[in-house]
A and B are shown apart, each in its own frame.
Chain A
Amino acid sequence: MRREAAGAAVRGGLALLGLALLPWVLGGDFYVNLASQVLIYALLALSLNLLIGAAGLTSLGHAAYLGIAAYAAAWLTGNAGFGALPAALAALAIGTASAAVFGVLALRASGLGFLMITLALGQIVWGVAYRWVSLTGGDNGIRLADRPAVLGFDLGTPVAFYYFAAAVFALAFLFLRRLALSPLGACLRGTKEQPRRMAMLGHHVWMLRWIAFVLAGFWGSVAGLLYLYYHKFVSPQALSLQQSAEALLMVLLGGSSTLAGPVVGAAVITLVKNLVSSYVDRWLTLLGVIFVAVVVFMPQGIVPGLAGLLRRLRALRPERAGAAPPRAAAGHEAAP
């Protein structure tokens, strides 16, 4: 058990080092900006995975929290004269509160019903952003005058913003990892696999799911703040069904049973959309082919699929045969 923890700490340290060194490796503002975007979408996918991977609830309206927080922060700084920090805190509060309310509505059902209710709620939020022109600027959106300074650091340059996004992302990742290992995380997984048994054991299944929903909304709102600071602009596309579906695809592509999965999924989709599309005209088709390939060959997603492949390769090597059973590379929570 201790070796396990030490291994995780080493991996975490390496990942942090990689995040910190990335701007030097990439060189060029364009790639640093791309990395920031990957982090923002990875955070959105991670927050959604709290519902999908942990609680087994598939949501099609998760971009709503990203959008609500981004709109709230942009509106409060632009129209209500809030400072950057109060606006950010208020935006997080508004995003989380809306998740609390939406959770009450959506958790009346699970499975397909839950999916449809979240879809409907997401569309309502989109409709408000699109139609309430005096508040949201309609499809022209709202602009943010400037990125805020955080602890005296100006986020104006691509590298500075990248480090800010990386710090927030690392914090979120650690939080979600801790959550996955905690009793609360274990209970959540219980409600996913055996809701009736969990209820019989005296757990409040609905409350557990609601907590997961609110936490997912909170981290989605954090992603929304990053989104706003990065783009300095928010329009209804940010909370459209397309955005929600894309977040869902990121989770499913990378693999919902691991924490690394949504991050990998977000990286693949963001890079195909923004980088590969410069070389391949039919990049949407390419994305489709990737999905189909993953579904056919790694139905659990890229990360669990590759981990499984690695395990089988190790098992083939004769000198390793009979050694301690190998662990899943990044999976902490789910048995394969």
Chain B
Amino acid sequence: MERRTVLKGLAGAAAALAAPAVHAQPAPIRVGMLTVKTGPLASGGIQMENGLRIFLNDRGMRLAGRPVVLTVSDTGGVPAQARTKTQELVERERCQVLIGPLAAFEALAIDDYIRQAGVPIISSSAAAEDLTQRQPNPWFVRPVGTSAQCMHPFAEYAAKDLGYRRMSTIADDFAYGHEQCAGFQRSFEDNGGRIVQKLWPPLAVPDYGTYISQLKTNADGAFIGFAGSNGFRFVRQFNEYGLKGRLPLLGGMTAVDESILQQMGNDAIGIVSTNWYSAEIDNPANRRFVEQMRREHRQDPGYYSAGAHISGAVLEAALEAVDGRIEDKEAFMRALRTGRVEETVRGPIRFDQYGQSIGNVYIRRVERKDGRLVNSVIKVYPEVSQFWTYDPQEFLRNPVYSRNWPPARHLEN
């Protein structure tokens, strides 16, 4: 079994450079990745690894003139194990920068160790709001969205562009679902809409029938905040109950993710959703990434693989800003948090003072194009901050988004 430190491309690069001045090869930059390769979260975790490997291989395993050694660790999706694996990457593998972990509860479990060890970490998918809000960590940057970052503009889109007035929400009953729904609700109601129903099926519910039969079909639409394969299972049952066309669905970040979209088939066509990414974004970096993903993994990139790819781009930009000198941790961290990264697959991004990215948010519609289902971009909200149009100080004084906050004042029974 091979040790998962990959030095691919190093030999080739060395041969190419060996010709005139035979300088000593600069010491490699040691990158650690925390992902999940066993258990229920493994599918997203493997996509994460694929995304990062595609990025690094595309750069010939060199960033800012230095070779890169990648060590990938499997946390099993368990917080205690995530912590041990983080320690292993930092203390034993001497990783200088970390990418990951997958789940918010893992990021929270290692948060205090990251502070103590002072190791820069680029969060490629964990979306918990407070990581960059009420408990910001100086060593943490998140080039992807918080749970609710895309929901604020999306709700405005629902209220203004689609003209919805009364909406239901249905989402996975855990922090990610709560935070997505809460952000949607706040912005929707501030734009004159009313959330008339909130449903919370448990994360591993075997059957959505009881929830679907409760959905108010006289609402203008339903917001669905699902993760993993739950979006796929929900939409299929929703259509089996004959609701397709009677109640428009608006999807959160992962409800119609590219990783499950092909299996969803015609069920999904027409669903409007939001994310900070779509495989259909038309920029050179993304066209290249999508082409590589399709060639190597026969899959369109989605939330997890794109997040890891963007993390790689952010790492590269910061390394270039400090001429590859990652050993100066403070300078490297400053470069990570202050730099503007022009060419990521989600478009240009920059960071706010909490380490959270400010960038494009896309409104997408599922369409069939050249025989495959895609999330076509129908509107772009540029420069979206995690605080949206709200005052950051006032935003942070409120409690974190949850099942009960903001309170639902317009529920109808």
**A residues engaging B (CB < 8 A)?**
28-30, 33-34, 37, 130-131, 133-134, 138-141, 143, 227, 231-233, 235, 237-238, 242, 273-274, 277-281, 283-284
B6 at the interface (CB under 8 A from A): no
Residues of B within 8 A of A143 (CB): 108, 111-112
Q: Which residue of A lies closest to B179 (CB)?
A: A140
Residues of A within 8 A of B408 (CB): none
Q: Which residue of A lies closest to B84 (CB)?
A: A274
Interface string of B107-138 (1 = CB under 8 A from A): 01101100000000000000010100000000
Q: Can you give 25 A-B contacts (C-beta < 8 A)?
A: A28-B91, A28-B92, A30-B88, A30-B91, A33-B84, A131-B173, A133-B178, A133-B402, A133-B403, A138-B175, A139-B104, A141-B105, A143-B111, A231-B79, A231-B109, A232-B112, A233-B112, A235-B79, A237-B78, A237-B79, A273-B81, A274-B81, A277-B74, A278-B4, A281-B37
Provide the bound-state CA to CA distance between A279 and B326, in Å.
Answer: 27
B87 at the interface (CB under 8 A from A): yes
Residues of A within 8 A of B263 (CB): none
Residues of B within 8 A of A134 (CB): 404
Please list the 6 inter-chain residue pairs (A to B) with the smallest Cβ-Cβ separation, ordered nearest first: A30-B91, A274-B84, A30-B92, A233-B109, A139-B174, A140-B175
Known: A139-B105, A139-B175; 10 extra A-B contacts, CB below 8 A, are A30-B88, A131-B173, A133-B175, A233-B79, A233-B109, A237-B79, A238-B79, A273-B81, A277-B76, A281-B74
Highest count of chain B CB atoms <10 Å: which of A242, A273, A280: A273
Interface string of B70-96 (1 = CB under 8 A from A): 000110101111011101100110000
Provide the bound-state CA to CA distance between A323 and B371, in Å.
Answer: 82
- The distance from the CB of A307 to the nearest CB of chain B, in whole angstroms, is 31
B38 at the interface (CB under 8 A from A): yes
Given A138-B175, A140-B175, A235-B105, answer yes or no on A280-B84 (Cβ-Cβ < 8 Å): no
- The distance from the CB of A150 to the nearest CB of chain B, in whole angstroms, is 19
B3 at the interface (CB under 8 A from A): yes
Given A143-B108, A235-B105, answer yes or no on A278-B174 (Cβ-Cβ < 8 Å): no
Contact B112 A279 (CB under 8 A): no
Contact A237 B105 (CB under 8 A): yes
Q: Which residue of A lies closest to B107 (CB)?
A: A140
B205 at the interface (CB under 8 A from A): no
Provide the bound-state CA to CA distance between A280 and B37, in Å.
Answer: 11
Given A139-B174, A139-B175, A143-B111, answer yes or no on A231-B83 (Cβ-Cβ < 8 Å): yes
Given A140-B104, A141-B109, answer yes or no on A283-B38 (Cβ-Cβ < 8 Å): yes
Contact A233 B1 (CB under 8 A): no
Contact for A231 among B1, B73, B80, B402, CB less than 8 A: B80
Contact A30 B87 (CB under 8 A): yes
- The distance from the CB of A326 to the nearest CB of chain B, in whole angstroms, is 39
Interface string of B1-27 (1 = CB under 8 A from A): 101100000000000000000000000
- The distance from the CB of A269 to the nearest CB of chain B, in whole angstroms, is 11
Provide the bound-state CA to CA distance between A130 and B111, in Å.
Answer: 20
Residues of B within 8 A of A273 (CB): 76, 81
Residues of A within 8 A of B37 (CB): 281
- The distance from the CB of A62 to the nearest CB of chain B, in whole angstroms, is 16
Q: Which residue of B lies closest to A138 (CB)?
A: B175
Given A140-B128, A231-B80, A238-B80, answer yes or no on A278-B88 (Cβ-Cβ < 8 Å): yes
Contact A281 B105 (CB under 8 A): no
Provide the bound-state CA to CA distance between A139 and B105, in Å.
Answer: 7
Residues of A within 8 A of B81 (CB): 273-274
Provide the bound-state CA to CA distance between A262 and B241, in Å.
Answer: 51
Contact A280 B1 (CB under 8 A): yes
- The distance from the CB of A101 to the nearest CB of chain B, in whole angstroms, is 26
Contact A141 B84 (CB under 8 A): no
Residues of A within 8 A of B80 (CB): 37, 227, 231, 237-238
- Using a CB-CB cutoff of 8 Å, which residues 188-242 of chain B contact chain A? none
Residues of A within 8 A of B38 (CB): 283-284
Residues of A within 8 A of B109 (CB): 141, 231, 233, 235
Contact for A279 among B1, B87, B92, B174, CB less than 8 A: B1
- The distance from the CB of A273 to the nearest CB of chain B, in whole angstroms, is 6
Q: Which residue of B lies closest to A134 (CB)?
A: B404
Given A235-B79, A274-B81, A280-B1, answer yes or no on A140-B105 (Cβ-Cβ < 8 Å): yes
Highest count of chain A CB atoms <10 Å: which of B79, B85, B111, B130: B79
